[in-house]
């Protein structure tokens, strides 16, 4: 007979490296492997506590003297698009959504490369090749879908206009990564994908759409605060965003609890032993 032994999640911390959102800051992440029979339960539970998935890893910012990054999600039932967001919906109403399994294609990679070269040429993903792209899409131990947004007319570079890699959680949709045709930047395709997945979550009866991290003071993250019914995970609980200007990206050496305390306070799925904080500091790959 085959038995599954209880798993003890091990948590680690990455070595500090320059923050991609706030100049002059150093970034550090708390992370754990996502694997085994409890992978989906782990993803569901830790996503509710501010974690994000990247392939088979769950991570959360845990910088030494900064707590600016706040996990954000939209309350689907209370969301109402703004006047400008309604224009975005009308502008892109010709697009057709196609939902597929987590499988990478050459057409997706070509679009991904154009997107990176145009908008993130100096970012951490700038050197990703087709094999690394395939790993980003396909290496997932949870329910993950690829949402393709297609132009039925298929003009210009082709029919594929935008792509979003999305996890299906027990309480919502989690947008892992999205990219779009940079030549169509004026169509606000990034915002359109969020609006479309709010509509999809509503249809599926899921209460939340998880957007990743909102960082006060980071211009590239400002757009997330424009969505109504937004909640942020702040001081160990979800709370309405309210006025964005009330949040500060200021650093303070006492603003972050010790790693061991952070790990000890995590709520884990049933049948999992209490998590363990490792003393090891690992470099991001």
Predicted confidence band of residue 252 (pLDDT cuts 50, 70, 90): low
More confident residue, 125 or 121: 125
Angle (CA) 50-208-225 rounded to 5° is 70
123 and 196 share one domain: yes
255 within a domain of the structure (yes/no): yes
More confident residue, 196 or 153: 196
Instruction: Write the CB contacts of 208 (distance below 8 Å, at least 6 apart in sequence).
Output: 73, 74, 75, 76, 169, 171, 172, 173, 201
Question: Which tens digit of pLDDT belongs to each residue from 212-242?
Answer: 999 988 888 889 999 999 999 988 899 999 8
Distance spanning both ends of the chain, measured CA to CA:
38
Instruction: State yes or no: pLDDT of 283 exceeds 70.
Output: no
28 and 98 share one domain: no
Instruction: State residue 25 phi and psi, 5-degree precision.
Output: -105, 160
5 within a domain of the structure (yes/no): no
Burial class (CB in 10 A: 0-12, 13-18, 19+), 64: middle
Predicted confidence band of residue 140 (pLDDT cuts 50, 70, 90): very high
CA distance 205 to 133: 31
Q: What is the mean pLDDT of residues 7-23?
A: 88
Task: List the domain range (segments joined by +) for residue 168.
Answer: 77-206
Q: How many structural domains does the chain have?
A: 2
Q: Residue 194 in 3-state DSSP?
A: helix
Instruction: Write the CB contacts of 213 (distance below 8 Å, at least 6 apart in sequence).
Output: 52, 61, 69, 70, 71, 72, 221
Instruction: State yes or no: pLDDT of 5 exceeds 60.
Output: no
CA distance 145 to 97: 12
180 and 260 share one domain: no
* pLDDT value at residue 280: 47
Instruction: State yes or no: pLDDT of 157 exceeds 80.
Output: no
Predicted confidence band of residue 273 (pLDDT cuts 50, 70, 90): low
Residue where a domain terminates, one of 184, 206, 228: 206
182 and 252 share one domain: no
Percentage, residues of the chain above pLDDT 70: 88
């Amino acid at each position: 007979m085959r038995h599954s032994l209880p798993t003890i999640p091990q948590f680690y911390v990455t070595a500090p490296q320059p923050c991609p959102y706030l100049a002059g800051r150093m970034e550090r992440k708390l992370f754990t492997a996502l694997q085994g029979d409890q992978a989906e339960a782990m993803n569901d539970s830790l996503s509710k506590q501010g974690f994000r998935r990247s392939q088979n890893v769950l991570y959360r910012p845990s910088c030494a003297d900064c707590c600016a990054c706040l996990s954000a999600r939209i309350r689907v039932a209370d969301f109402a698009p703004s006047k400008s967001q309604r224009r975005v919906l009308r502008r892109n109403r010709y697009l057709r959504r196609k939902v597929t399994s987590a499988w990478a294609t050459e057409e997706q990679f070509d679009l991904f490369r154009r997107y990176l070269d145009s908008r993130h040429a100096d970012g951490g993903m700038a050197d990703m090749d087709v094999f690394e792209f395939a790993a980003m899409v396909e290496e997932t131990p949870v329910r993950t879908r690829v949402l393709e947004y297609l132009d039925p007319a298929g003009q210009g570079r082709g029919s594929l206009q935008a792509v979003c890699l999305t996890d299906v959680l027990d309480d919502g949709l989690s947008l892992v990564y999205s990219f779009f045709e940079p030549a169509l930047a004026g169509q606000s395709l990034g915002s359109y994908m969020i609006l479309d997945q709010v509509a999809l979550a509503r249809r599926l009866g899921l209460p939340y759409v998880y957007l990743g991290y909102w960082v006060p003071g980071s211009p590239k993250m400002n757009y997330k605060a424009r969505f109504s019914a937004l909640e942020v995970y702040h001081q160990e609980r979800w709370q309405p965003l309210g006025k964005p200007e009330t949040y500060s990206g200021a650093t303070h050496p006492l603003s972050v609890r010790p790693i061991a305390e952070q790990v000890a306070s995590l709520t884990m799925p049933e049948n999992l032993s209490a998590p363990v904080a490792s003393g090891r500091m690992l470099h991001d790959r």
